[in-house]
Homo-oligomer: A and B are copies of this chain.
Amino acid sequence: MKKLKKIDLRVSLAGLKLKNPVIAASGTFGYGTEYTGLAEPGDFGAVITKTITLAPRPGNRPPRICETASGMLNSIGLANVGFEAFKNDKLPRLVEKKAVIIANIAGNTIEEYVELAKKINKISHIPALELNISCPNVKQGGIAFGTDPSSAAALTKAVRKVYKKTLIVKLSPNVSDIAAIARAVEKAGADALSLINTLYGMAVDIKKRRPVLGNITGGLSGPAIKPVALYNLYKAYHSVKIPLIGLGGIMDHRDALEFLITGAVAVQIGTANFVNPSAAKDILSGLAGYCRENNITKITKLTGILKC
Protein backbone atom coordinates (compact mmCIF):
# COMPACT_ATOMS: atom_id res chain seq x y z
CA MET A 1 0.00 0.00 0.00
CA LYS A 2 1.20 3.47 -0.86
CA LYS A 3 1.89 5.73 2.07
CA LEU A 4 -0.90 8.27 2.47
CA LYS A 5 0.27 11.70 1.49
CA LYS A 6 -0.27 14.39 4.08
CA ILE A 7 -2.69 17.03 2.81
CA ASP A 8 -2.10 20.63 3.81
CA LEU A 9 -5.44 21.74 5.19
CA ARG A 10 -4.30 25.14 6.50
CA VAL A 11 -6.07 28.25 5.30
CA SER A 12 -5.65 31.92 5.99
CA LEU A 13 -8.41 34.48 6.33
CA ALA A 14 -6.84 37.87 5.79
CA GLY A 15 -3.96 37.04 8.10
CA LEU A 16 -5.92 34.88 10.51
CA LYS A 17 -4.28 31.48 10.22
CA LEU A 18 -6.42 28.38 10.71
CA LYS A 19 -5.20 24.81 10.88
CA ASN A 20 -8.16 23.72 8.76
CA PRO A 21 -11.04 25.33 6.86
CA VAL A 22 -13.93 23.95 8.93
CA ILE A 23 -15.37 26.47 11.38
CA ALA A 24 -18.20 26.08 13.91
CA ALA A 25 -21.03 28.49 13.00
CA SER A 26 -22.39 30.99 15.48
CA GLY A 27 -25.29 29.81 17.60
CA THR A 28 -24.80 26.15 16.85
CA PHE A 29 -21.77 25.44 19.01
CA GLY A 30 -22.79 27.45 22.07
CA TYR A 31 -19.81 28.90 23.91
CA GLY A 32 -17.63 26.04 22.77
CA THR A 33 -17.78 23.66 25.71
CA GLU A 34 -21.32 22.27 25.64
CA TYR A 35 -20.44 19.37 23.34
CA THR A 36 -17.66 18.04 25.58
CA GLY A 37 -17.40 14.32 24.95
CA LEU A 38 -18.95 14.66 21.52
CA ALA A 39 -16.95 17.38 19.79
CA GLU A 40 -14.14 19.64 20.84
CA PRO A 41 -13.39 23.21 19.78
CA GLY A 42 -10.01 21.91 18.66
CA ASP A 43 -11.70 19.74 16.02
CA PHE A 44 -12.45 22.92 14.10
CA GLY A 45 -10.19 25.42 12.36
CA ALA A 46 -11.96 28.01 14.52
CA VAL A 47 -15.01 28.27 16.72
CA ILE A 48 -17.43 31.18 16.41
CA THR A 49 -19.30 31.98 19.59
CA LYS A 50 -23.04 32.38 19.92
CA THR A 51 -23.86 36.03 19.13
CA ILE A 52 -22.95 38.18 22.11
CA THR A 53 -24.74 41.40 22.94
CA LEU A 54 -23.83 44.07 25.49
CA ALA A 55 -26.59 43.14 27.91
CA PRO A 56 -27.77 39.56 28.45
CA ARG A 57 -30.79 38.63 26.34
CA PRO A 58 -33.42 36.11 27.45
CA GLY A 59 -34.35 35.30 23.87
CA ASN A 60 -37.77 34.62 22.37
CA ARG A 61 -40.67 32.71 23.83
CA PRO A 62 -40.77 28.98 23.05
CA PRO A 63 -41.26 26.91 20.98
CA ARG A 64 -38.04 28.08 19.37
CA ILE A 65 -37.27 25.34 16.90
CA CYS A 66 -39.16 23.26 14.42
CA GLU A 67 -38.14 20.78 11.77
CA THR A 68 -39.05 21.49 8.14
CA ALA A 69 -38.37 19.60 4.90
CA SER A 70 -34.58 19.09 4.97
CA GLY A 71 -34.22 22.05 7.27
CA MET A 72 -35.13 23.63 10.57
CA LEU A 73 -36.51 26.93 11.75
CA ASN A 74 -35.16 28.65 14.82
CA SER A 75 -36.25 31.74 16.67
CA ILE A 76 -33.77 31.68 19.52
CA GLY A 77 -33.78 35.46 19.49
CA LEU A 78 -30.08 35.94 20.21
CA ALA A 79 -30.49 34.56 23.72
CA ASN A 80 -27.07 35.03 25.32
CA VAL A 81 -25.42 35.74 28.63
CA GLY A 82 -24.24 39.22 27.63
CA PHE A 83 -20.69 40.45 27.24
CA GLU A 84 -19.64 40.52 30.90
CA ALA A 85 -20.73 36.99 31.70
CA PHE A 86 -19.27 35.81 28.40
CA LYS A 87 -15.92 37.29 29.26
CA ASN A 88 -15.86 36.15 32.87
CA ASP A 89 -17.65 32.79 32.84
CA LYS A 90 -17.64 31.39 29.32
CA LEU A 91 -14.44 32.60 27.71
CA PRO A 92 -11.93 31.22 30.25
CA ARG A 93 -13.31 27.69 29.76
CA LEU A 94 -13.14 28.06 26.00
CA VAL A 95 -9.61 29.47 26.10
CA GLU A 96 -8.48 26.33 27.93
CA LYS A 97 -9.51 24.33 24.89
CA LYS A 98 -6.82 26.06 22.83
CA ALA A 99 -8.93 26.64 19.73
CA VAL A 100 -9.02 29.73 17.55
CA ILE A 101 -11.90 31.78 18.91
CA ILE A 102 -13.95 34.15 16.78
CA ALA A 103 -16.42 36.31 18.68
CA ASN A 104 -19.77 36.99 16.99
CA ILE A 105 -21.55 40.15 18.10
CA ALA A 106 -24.72 42.09 17.48
CA GLY A 107 -26.26 45.32 18.64
CA ASN A 108 -29.36 47.40 18.15
CA THR A 109 -27.40 50.46 17.11
CA ILE A 110 -24.06 51.21 15.53
CA GLU A 111 -22.94 52.55 18.90
CA GLU A 112 -23.66 49.23 20.57
CA TYR A 113 -21.68 47.34 17.94
CA VAL A 114 -18.78 49.75 18.32
CA GLU A 115 -18.77 49.48 22.10
CA LEU A 116 -18.74 45.69 21.93
CA ALA A 117 -16.07 45.64 19.23
CA LYS A 118 -13.84 47.81 21.40
CA LYS A 119 -14.20 45.42 24.31
CA ILE A 120 -13.54 42.36 22.13
CA ASN A 121 -10.53 44.12 20.60
CA LYS A 122 -8.90 44.20 24.01
CA ILE A 123 -9.22 40.45 24.61
CA SER A 124 -5.96 38.92 23.49
CA HIS A 125 -7.43 35.41 23.18
CA ILE A 126 -9.84 36.49 20.49
CA PRO A 127 -8.07 37.13 17.17
CA ALA A 128 -11.16 37.81 15.06
CA LEU A 129 -14.64 39.23 15.16
CA GLU A 130 -17.71 38.27 13.15
CA LEU A 131 -20.42 40.90 12.86
CA ASN A 132 -23.93 39.51 12.80
CA ILE A 133 -25.70 42.21 10.81
CA SER A 134 -28.97 40.39 10.34
CA CYS A 135 -30.74 41.54 13.45
CA PRO A 136 -33.33 44.28 13.49
CA ASN A 137 -31.85 47.75 13.66
CA VAL A 138 -34.16 49.53 15.98
CA LYS A 139 -32.97 53.01 15.04
CA GLN A 140 -33.57 52.39 11.35
CA GLY A 141 -37.16 51.34 11.87
CA GLY A 142 -36.76 47.60 12.06
CA ILE A 143 -34.86 47.14 8.83
CA ALA A 144 -31.90 44.93 9.43
CA PHE A 145 -28.45 46.37 8.79
CA GLY A 146 -27.78 43.36 6.64
CA THR A 147 -30.32 44.16 3.95
CA ASP A 148 -29.28 47.68 3.01
CA PRO A 149 -25.83 48.28 1.49
CA SER A 150 -25.33 51.73 2.95
CA SER A 151 -26.35 50.75 6.50
CA ALA A 152 -24.15 47.67 6.26
CA ALA A 153 -21.27 49.83 5.10
CA ALA A 154 -21.77 52.46 7.80
CA LEU A 155 -21.79 49.78 10.47
CA THR A 156 -18.71 48.05 9.11
CA LYS A 157 -16.84 51.34 8.83
CA ALA A 158 -17.62 52.32 12.40
CA VAL A 159 -16.50 48.97 13.75
CA ARG A 160 -13.41 48.93 11.52
CA LYS A 161 -12.27 52.15 13.17
CA VAL A 162 -12.09 50.58 16.60
CA TYR A 163 -11.39 46.95 15.79
CA LYS A 164 -7.80 46.18 14.82
CA LYS A 165 -7.80 42.43 14.24
CA THR A 166 -9.52 40.28 11.61
CA LEU A 167 -12.98 41.65 10.91
CA ILE A 168 -15.51 39.31 9.34
CA VAL A 169 -18.98 40.45 8.34
CA LYS A 170 -21.73 37.84 8.16
CA LEU A 171 -24.28 38.52 5.44
CA SER A 172 -27.96 37.80 5.29
CA PRO A 173 -29.47 36.04 2.25
CA ASN A 174 -32.72 37.95 2.62
CA VAL A 175 -31.72 40.45 -0.03
CA SER A 176 -32.17 40.92 -3.78
CA ASP A 177 -28.59 41.79 -4.52
CA ILE A 178 -25.96 40.19 -2.32
CA ALA A 179 -23.19 41.55 -4.55
CA ALA A 180 -24.11 45.13 -3.67
CA ILE A 181 -23.95 44.41 0.05
CA ALA A 182 -20.72 42.45 -0.30
CA ARG A 183 -19.04 45.27 -2.22
CA ALA A 184 -20.25 47.92 0.23
CA VAL A 185 -18.96 45.96 3.20
CA GLU A 186 -15.63 45.21 1.51
CA LYS A 187 -15.15 48.87 0.72
CA ALA A 188 -15.99 49.79 4.31
CA GLY A 189 -13.04 47.73 5.50
CA ALA A 190 -14.15 44.17 6.18
CA ASP A 191 -11.34 41.60 6.00
CA ALA A 192 -13.59 38.69 5.10
CA LEU A 193 -17.24 37.79 4.63
CA SER A 194 -19.30 34.91 5.98
CA LEU A 195 -22.38 33.96 4.02
CA ILE A 196 -25.11 33.02 4.59
CA ASN A 197 -27.12 33.54 7.73
CA THR A 198 -30.60 31.99 7.88
CA LEU A 199 -33.49 32.72 5.51
CA TYR A 200 -36.69 34.12 6.97
CA GLY A 201 -39.25 31.36 7.35
CA MET A 202 -42.37 30.21 9.13
CA ALA A 203 -44.35 27.05 9.84
CA VAL A 204 -47.98 26.56 10.85
CA ASP A 205 -49.46 23.94 13.16
CA ILE A 206 -52.69 23.09 11.33
CA LYS A 207 -54.21 21.39 14.37
CA LYS A 208 -53.73 24.34 16.68
CA ARG A 209 -54.01 26.83 13.77
CA ARG A 210 -51.07 28.62 15.25
CA PRO A 211 -47.53 29.35 14.12
CA VAL A 212 -45.28 26.54 15.35
CA LEU A 213 -42.76 29.04 16.69
CA GLY A 214 -43.63 31.16 19.71
CA ASN A 215 -42.08 34.09 17.86
CA ILE A 216 -44.27 33.35 14.76
CA THR A 217 -41.35 33.59 12.30
CA GLY A 218 -37.80 32.29 12.43
CA GLY A 219 -34.65 31.55 10.49
CA LEU A 220 -34.37 28.61 8.11
CA SER A 221 -31.16 26.57 8.06
CA GLY A 222 -29.99 23.15 6.98
CA PRO A 223 -29.71 21.24 3.67
CA ALA A 224 -32.83 22.95 2.30
CA ILE A 225 -30.96 26.26 1.99
CA LYS A 226 -27.74 24.95 0.48
CA PRO A 227 -28.66 25.97 -3.08
CA VAL A 228 -29.43 29.50 -1.88
CA ALA A 229 -26.15 29.66 0.03
CA LEU A 230 -24.16 28.54 -3.01
CA TYR A 231 -25.91 31.10 -5.17
CA ASN A 232 -25.03 33.91 -2.78
CA LEU A 233 -21.46 32.71 -2.45
CA TYR A 234 -21.12 32.55 -6.23
CA LYS A 235 -22.42 36.10 -6.61
CA ALA A 236 -20.20 37.45 -3.84
CA TYR A 237 -17.14 35.65 -5.19
CA HIS A 238 -17.52 37.49 -8.46
CA SER A 239 -17.99 40.85 -6.73
CA VAL A 240 -15.30 41.13 -4.09
CA LYS A 241 -11.66 40.22 -3.55
CA ILE A 242 -11.62 39.56 0.20
CA PRO A 243 -11.79 35.92 1.35
CA LEU A 244 -15.19 34.33 1.71
CA ILE A 245 -16.42 31.83 4.28
CA GLY A 246 -19.30 29.77 2.95
CA LEU A 247 -22.09 28.21 4.96
CA GLY A 248 -25.66 27.07 4.75
CA GLY A 249 -26.71 23.44 4.79
CA ILE A 250 -23.28 21.84 4.82
CA MET A 251 -23.72 18.31 6.18
CA ASP A 252 -20.80 16.38 4.70
CA HIS A 253 -17.54 16.84 2.84
CA ARG A 254 -19.25 16.78 -0.55
CA ASP A 255 -21.32 19.78 0.49
CA ALA A 256 -18.19 21.52 1.78
CA LEU A 257 -16.47 20.88 -1.54
CA GLU A 258 -19.29 22.60 -3.43
CA PHE A 259 -18.60 25.73 -1.38
CA LEU A 260 -14.82 25.60 -1.71
CA ILE A 261 -15.03 25.03 -5.45
CA THR A 262 -17.48 27.92 -5.80
CA GLY A 263 -15.11 30.28 -4.05
CA ALA A 264 -14.99 29.80 -0.30
CA VAL A 265 -11.64 29.75 1.50
CA ALA A 266 -13.27 28.16 4.53
CA VAL A 267 -16.69 26.83 5.48
CA GLN A 268 -18.86 26.95 8.56
CA ILE A 269 -20.88 24.08 9.97
CA GLY A 270 -24.13 25.02 11.67
CA THR A 271 -27.17 22.75 11.80
CA ALA A 272 -24.94 19.75 11.06
CA ASN A 273 -23.48 20.03 14.57
CA PHE A 274 -26.91 19.15 15.98
CA VAL A 275 -27.41 16.24 13.63
CA ASN A 276 -23.93 14.83 13.89
CA PRO A 277 -21.53 16.33 16.43
CA SER A 278 -18.66 14.61 14.66
CA ALA A 279 -19.55 16.39 11.40
CA ALA A 280 -16.42 18.57 11.49
CA LYS A 281 -14.11 15.59 11.92
CA ASP A 282 -15.96 13.61 9.25
CA ILE A 283 -15.84 16.54 6.83
CA LEU A 284 -12.14 17.07 7.38
CA SER A 285 -11.27 13.48 6.69
CA GLY A 286 -13.55 13.52 3.67
CA LEU A 287 -11.84 16.65 2.34
CA ALA A 288 -8.42 15.11 2.84
CA GLY A 289 -9.58 11.98 1.02
CA TYR A 290 -10.91 13.98 -1.91
CA CYS A 291 -7.63 15.88 -2.17
CA ARG A 292 -5.67 12.66 -2.09
CA GLU A 293 -7.78 11.05 -4.82
CA ASN A 294 -7.45 14.13 -6.96
CA ASN A 295 -3.75 14.75 -6.33
CA ILE A 296 -4.34 18.02 -4.60
CA THR A 297 -1.80 18.70 -1.87
CA LYS A 298 -3.15 21.96 -0.47
CA ILE A 299 -6.81 22.54 0.24
CA THR A 300 -6.45 26.18 -0.79
CA LYS A 301 -6.00 25.01 -4.39
CA LEU A 302 -9.69 24.15 -4.50
CA THR A 303 -11.01 27.63 -3.83
CA GLY A 304 -12.89 29.02 -6.79
CA ILE A 305 -11.86 26.41 -9.36
CA LEU A 306 -15.42 26.20 -10.65
CA LYS A 307 -15.49 25.97 -14.44
CA CYS A 308 -18.37 27.92 -15.88
Contact of A206 among B147, B232, B254 (CB under 8 A): B254
Tell me which residues across on chain B come within 8 A of A226, comparing CB atoms: 68-69, 203
Tell me which residues across on chain B come within 8 A of A257, comparing CB atoms: 204, 206
Interface string of A215-246 (1 = CB under 8 A from B): 01100101111111011101000000000000
The answer on a CB contact under 8 Å between B234 and A217 is yes
A210 within 8 A of B: yes
Task: From known contacts A176-B144, A209-B307, infer whether A203 and B71 are also in contact, taking CB-CB under 8 Å.
Answer: no
Contact of A209 among B202, B231, B254, B306 (CB under 8 A): B306
Which residues from 147 to 195 on chain A have a C-beta closer than 8 Å to any C-beta of chain B? 147-148, 174-177
A258 within 8 A of B: yes
A79 within 8 A of B: no
A36 within 8 A of B: no
Task: From known contacts A202-B262, A227-B220, A261-B206, infer whether A211 and B174 are also in contact, taking CB-CB under 8 Å.
Answer: no
Count A interface residues, CB 8 Å: 49
The answer on a CB contact under 8 Å between B176 and A262 is no
A305 within 8 A of B: yes
A200 within 8 A of B: yes
The answer on a CB contact under 8 Å between B217 and A306 is no
In this complex, what residue of B is CB-closest to A302? B209
How many copies of this chain sit in the oligomeric assembly? Answer: 2
The answer on a CB contact under 8 Å between A234 and B206 is no
The answer on a CB contact under 8 Å between A261 and B223 is no
In this complex, what residue of B is CB-closest to A308? B216
A142 to chain B, nearest CB (A): 10
What would be 21 A-B contacts, judged by CB atoms less than 8 Å apart?
A: A69-B223, A69-B249, A144-B176, A147-B177, A174-B175, A174-B176, A176-B176, A201-B228, A202-B231, A202-B262, A203-B227, A203-B230, A204-B262, A206-B258, A208-B307, A210-B306, A210-B307, A210-B308, A220-B227, A220-B228, A224-B225
Seed contacts A199-B228, A217-B234; 17 additional CB < 8 Å A-B pairs: A68-B227, A69-B226, A144-B176, A199-B227, A201-B228, A202-B227, A202-B231, A202-B262, A203-B258, A204-B261, A204-B306, A206-B290, A209-B261, A210-B308, A211-B308, A220-B228, A224-B225
**Taking beta carbons and an 8 Å cutoff, which residues of A are in contact with B?**
68-71, 73, 143-144, 147-148, 174-177, 199-204, 206, 208-211, 216-217, 220, 222-228, 230-232, 234, 249, 254, 257-258, 261-262, 290, 305-308
